[in-house]
Amino acid sequence: MKFEEFGLKPSLLEQLHKHGFTDATSIQEKVIPEIHKGKDVVGQSETGSGKTIAFNLPILDKIVKGKGVQVLVLTPTRELCVQVKDAFELFGRGIGLHVGAVYGGVGINPQFNEFRRAEVIVATPGRLMDHLKRGSFNTKHIKFLVLDEVDKMCEMGFVEDVESIINQLPKQRQTLLFSATIPENVKGIIHRYLHNPVMLKTKTSVDKSLLKQSYYEVKEYERFSLMVHFLNKHNKGLSLVFCATRHQVDSLSYNLQKNGVNAMAIHGGLSQNRRDFALDSLKKQHIQVLVATDVAARGLDIKNVVYVYNYDVPKTSEDYVHRIGRTARAGESGEAITFLSNKDHDNFRNVLRDRSLDIPRIDVPEFQRYPYLQKQRREFSRGNFREGSGFRGRGSSGFRGGHSGGSRGGFQGRRDSDGRREHSGEKREYSDGRRSFSPGREGRREHQDSKGRGFGRSQYNM
């Protein structure tokens, strides 16, 4: 279906054509007419399906310049917040609207002006709650509420904030909810806050003709060396590497750099500047590898990704599909490679419950062993350490110094994704089996897995 068939403003059509958009995607074709009718909408579709444009265009077609904040969009992450803001600005240029982005990790004072000037506010729930408590956001002109990537907002613990925000908005509004999956907590939000919503869904699928999938069964201590092997072999195009935790992302990206791979990390524990810098570096192809958690990468528009690696196997088939959906886009081919170690078998069985997935097992090739600087973890009671990174010196994002907020001394303290405080050091493994420890690190001299359990003395860990 052509965009001209939706009856959009000429200025919107001009921007669409200028940037190469002519045909609507499946979710856009279903959603745009219903939003135009003024209905509440629930849209469910896979990553990369065009959900942002699906709500962006019909909203821009209706709002009026100079009438206060008429649109509020809530997103789970700062990166997605900026991406949605950029889309509104791109297609709304001919209308002359002001779009404000409101998120944490940056100073709050400059954001006060956004509420006075903007017609559209895109925000993360936590920072918007700060503004509502300060009284800096007048919600009385809100006509549209968009809840984007709602399942991830719920997964990140934003349910109470989201509901508190909704309860402070005008009752007479149009509510649009977009989510890759619809778990029970999302169903609860739909039931409580949407009025007779139209439920629209596109089939989540993998184009097997374009996307090659495979998995390699490896021992835990072989994973890192095999990862470096593939990144050195597949050095044409961009690669995304997914890990389960922030700690794993930091540790892996740091060690990839140490072994000559041009990689950066992105996760919710990094400062906004570092997250922006990592994304910008990947988009400009100044780096070839981005190591990320699922939450940090969710909803981001990253083009030209050729390889997706599951360093840790995701917990569900939905998460697997959304990860590998980062490649093989726009008619281009791609490859998704999963490393299956002993700890991941339960998750992998969950992934394979989707009978549409065909993930063949490939024999592990010969590969060189690479040293790994393992980040050791020790648990401490809440409040003993300030948040920060686990590394001193050159960090995983390529900057000198530890991540912002780190405690000083030989070890750094930070909160991992499970909410516990940890502090860390380094243990270096050498090809002849010798081990050396950073100052102050004592204890057993055996390798540990990600849960802190000893599993042998092989000289290559991870």
Domain ranges (residues) in the chain:
3-201, 206-462
Rounded Cα gap, residues 93 and 320, in angstroms: 36
Count of alpha carbons within 13 angstroms of residue 349, beta-carbon side:
4
Q: Which of 361-365, 416-420, 442-446 has the highest mean pLDDT?
A: 361-365
CA distances from 407 to 272, 396, 411 (A): 19, 17, 8
Q: Do domains 3-201 and 206-462 have the same CATH topology?
A: yes
User: In this predicted structure, which of 215-224, 245-254, 352-361, 414-423 has the lowest mean pLDDT?
Assistant: 414-423
Which numeric CATH code is attached to 206-462?
3.40.50.300
The CA distance from 79 to 92, in Å, is: 20
Report the C-alpha gap between 39 and 416 in whole angstroms: 41
The pLDDT, as a whole number, for residue 340 is: 96
Architecture of domain 3-201: 3-Layer(aba) Sandwich (3.40)
Give me the mean pLDDT over the 16-44 stretch.
Answer: 92
pLDDT band at residue 98 under the 50/70/90 scheme: very high
Q: What pLDDT, on the 0 to 100 scale, is given for residue 48?
A: 67
* CA angle in degrees (0–180, nearest 5) for 207-45-327: 40
Q: What is the pLDDT of residue 267?
A: 87
Q: What is the per-residue pLDDT for 444?
A: 35
* pLDDT of the residue at 297: 62
Q: CB atoms < 10 A from the CB of 303, how many?
A: 12
Q: Which pair of structure tokens corresponds to residue 19? A: 């940037």
Each residue's pLDDT tens digit, 184-197 = 999 999 999 999 99
Provide mean pLDDT across the span 378-385.
38
3-class secondary-structure state, position 74? strand
Phi, psi of 288 (to 5 degrees): -110, -20
Predicted local confidence at residue 106, as pLDDT: 87
* Segment 120-137, tens digit of pLDDT: 999 999 999 999 999 999
How does pLDDT run across 178-231, given as a tens digit for each residue?
988 888 999 999 999 999 999 998 865 566 778 899 999 999 999 999 999 999
Report pLDDT for 375: 57
Q: What is the pLDDT of residue 262?
A: 93
Averaged pLDDT score across all residues of the chain: 80
